[in-house]
Amino acid sequence: MRLSRNFTLSELVKSQTAIRNSIDNTPNTEQIVALTALCHAVLQPCRDKYGLFTPNSTFRTVELCELLGSSPKSQHALGEASDIEMAGVDNFEFAEWVIENLEFDQLILEFYKKGEPNSGWVHVSYAKDREQRKEIRHSVYENSKIKYPEGLV
């Protein structure tokens, strides 16, 4: 099923973890509608700008979220979020481009290390049924826990 000019549903639900653990990672109709909105608002414009890339992780069922240690209320489980890396593009610079050019609900620069352009990834969400928060955060380890302070650094 094609969700935008260059994205298919199968591309956005593929999960090696789900396959290894026999988890059915199939979204329902509402989640497919959210994934389509995410494609049009975020993923397709990124592909138009940067060319071919495959998102690291987009849709995750609640069961898959729990297995991965993320919240069952994650925007991934709603079909509203994707984790993205662009080969050859610094993740900090990519995050800045998203902030300057796209409508989004939340952007998190995950586990980026300054001076290591390929470190980490960019989590971007789009919420089709509400005003976008334009929340910008980054992840850091603090006392063996992951924290999400505001801003890119």
Confidence of residue 71 (pLDDT cuts 50, 70, 90): confident
Give φ, ψ of 25 to 5 degrees.
-100, 45
Model confidence over 129-140: pLDDT tens digits? 899 999 999 999
Provide the CATH number for the domain formed by 9-147 in this structure: 3.30.1380
pTM metric for this prediction: 0.93
Confidence of residue 11 (pLDDT cuts 50, 70, 90): very high
- Domain map (residue ranges) of the chain: 9-147
Q: What is the CA radius of gyration of the chain?
A: 15
Task: List 57's β-bridge partners, or say none.
Answer: 83
Q: Which one has a higher pLDDT value, 114 or 83?
A: 83
- The two counts, helices (H) then strands (E), for the chain are 7, 6
